[in-house]
Copies of this chain bind each other. A is one copy, B any other.
């Protein structure tokens, strides 16, 4: 409980953003949601130590999600040129000061996180591709592959170095954490039917898991909002419950005599492993204790093991499954860094092995392999990934001959679960209210046109604008982009000059190159700036309106916006279907789309579409009569 409180205090007081898995946040960031503090240095520190404390406290949580978040945080720290606050800066890192390269770097960080958590370099690349990234380029594939190759090499040398056993639990399992390669994977039609059953049930239980996690999260968010003390209290309660399960439930399990033909010690006392003695007499072991009073990794290894088919009683497996399923649901959402992979794998493996035992007379496949397939079905049912899970499980277990079965189970469980609800990460993103932009347009968007959802009023600037007007607009609104319209005498008729960004306006105003009259000054002051002045600053570090110091006299002066205007923003015509505009917006990864009028002779811009204008809440709020699924 002390460890649990440490983790809880760190999370609740220093960096609340470090609680939970972190994968939904990274996913949203890579989709373009630049939420504050998601990837801040303080989050990084708390994530690392909080995760260590949380896992050590014996919670049913994994270190995988936090590792992905950690990787992304480190990448972000590098991407914004280090941390000025902690005096860690590198000048050459300024090349990452733009959205795309920083996003690429963070994708690589997430891939590295998975690669190191599961010791699965290829799985890391695929996870980054399938789950994390929203935009994919072949260059990015290459970069993530490079990152995880480095991870693999480093991991391999560390494992080599730790072979002596000096590194605690680190070296265990080698590069392949749960080796099941020894099992003989021959199967017949009865096995196939059993496996389909695993897939279907796994899908149902997986989607139920998502449903429960969602409900619990909503309940917890009410408690957590009351303040850090309540957060820590919640951590203590869950920690108590976990301990009660771990130390209480094994008393209900019967003792089993040690099998005689074993290579390993039985019972093991005083270290993590198999065949726990617990309350039993000499030469006996307690199956349930072997699962509970172990590291999560060792419990999984025991469940995947195929050396002793009858190692665990059916009742022990059932109790463990129910307890882990329940604890997994109530643990996610408390104020500690908590991954979802391990709880899901634990529950899935015990469920699979349980089903394997129950179907023992019917199916000939090994119970360890049943455990593996059960884990696959649960992962498919909650996370809804396909290729990446398949490769991660392959790299975890080194059992290539199981591949066809694994693919089958993943497909079935994902299909079944998809008919109930969304993947767990998508659910969390939505629950957190992050404006995630889906890859496809929603069906109801076809009934609307672009101008239907433009939220007004539109604030636009003249090509040469009065400083006071700009400052007023920047202060009054939180818009990040403003259209610039050229009017006579700079154009024959009002025409759309382009789009200027808030951050660029702030840099321009800060330089105070104003003129008394309304004249073009294009070339004169461009020499004053360097391209990097307009680069994207680190999160929370750019200029703010409040930083500007502009006096009354300057307010009446003019500034030429042409040099900082993007003169060819992407535009859509007002009558374009909203679905089509959404595709443009999403595929090109835009932040602003200008809506222009269809007929000439009207003002040259109708409105600006931003991410929020495409959100279902906004659209359905404006048009409540639209059927959302038609």
Known: A145-B387, A573-B568, A584-B570. A121 touches B493 (CB 8 A): no
**CB-based contact A121/B403 at 8 Å:** yes
Q: Of the candidates B152, B176, B386, B400, which one forms a contact with A141 in the assembled complex, judged by CB atoms under 8 Å apart? A: B386
Q: Of the candidates B149, B153, B491, B588, which one forms a contact with A584 in the assembled complex, judged by CB atoms under 8 Å apart? A: B588
**In the assembly, what is the distance between CA of A519 and CA of B263, in Å?**
92
Q: What is the minimal beta-carbon distance from A124 to any residue of chain B, in angstroms?
A: 10
0 or 1 for each of A12-34: is its CB under 8 Å from B? (1 = yes): 00000000000000000000000
A420 within 8 A of B: no
A358 within 8 A of B: no
**CB-based contact A411/B121 at 8 Å:** no
Copies of the protein in its oligomer? 2
**In the assembly, what is the distance between CA of A571 and CA of B595, in Å?**
12
**In the assembly, what is the distance between CA of A387 and CA of B148, in Å?**
11
B residues within 8 A CB of A361? none
**CB-based contact B122/A403 at 8 Å:** yes
Q: Of the candidates B130, B175, B411, B440, which one forms a contact with A401 in the assembled complex, judged by CB atoms under 8 Å apart? A: B175
Q: Of the candidates B146, B152, B583, which one forms a contact with A404 in the assembled complex, judged by CB atoms under 8 Å apart? A: B152
**In the assembly, what is the distance between CA of A428 and CA of B352, in Å?**
49
A122, A130, A394, A572, most chain B CB atoms within 10 A: A122
A390 within 8 A of B: yes
B residues within 8 A CB of A491? 599
**CB-based contact B386/A145 at 8 Å:** yes
**In the assembly, what is the distance between CA of A268 and CA of B620, in Å?**
75
**CB-based contact A153/B404 at 8 Å:** yes
Q: Of the candidates B137, B400, B576, which one forms a contact with A568 in the assembled complex, judged by CB atoms under 8 Å apart? A: B576
Known: A149-B411, A587-B587, A601-B493. A130 touches B141 (CB 8 A): yes
**CB-based contact B599/A493 at 8 Å:** yes
A407 within 8 A of B: yes
A217 within 8 A of B: no
Q: Which A positions have Cβ atoms within 8 angstroms of B?
A: 121-122, 125-126, 129-130, 136-139, 141-142, 145-146, 148-149, 152-153, 155-156, 174-176, 181, 386-387, 390-391, 394-395, 398, 400-401, 403-404, 407-408, 411, 414, 439-440, 491-495, 567-568, 570-573, 575-577, 580, 583-584, 587-588, 598-601, 604
Given contacts A141-B387, A152-B404, 7 further A-B contacts (CB under 8 A): A122-B394, A139-B440, A142-B414, A145-B411, A149-B411, A175-B400, A567-B575
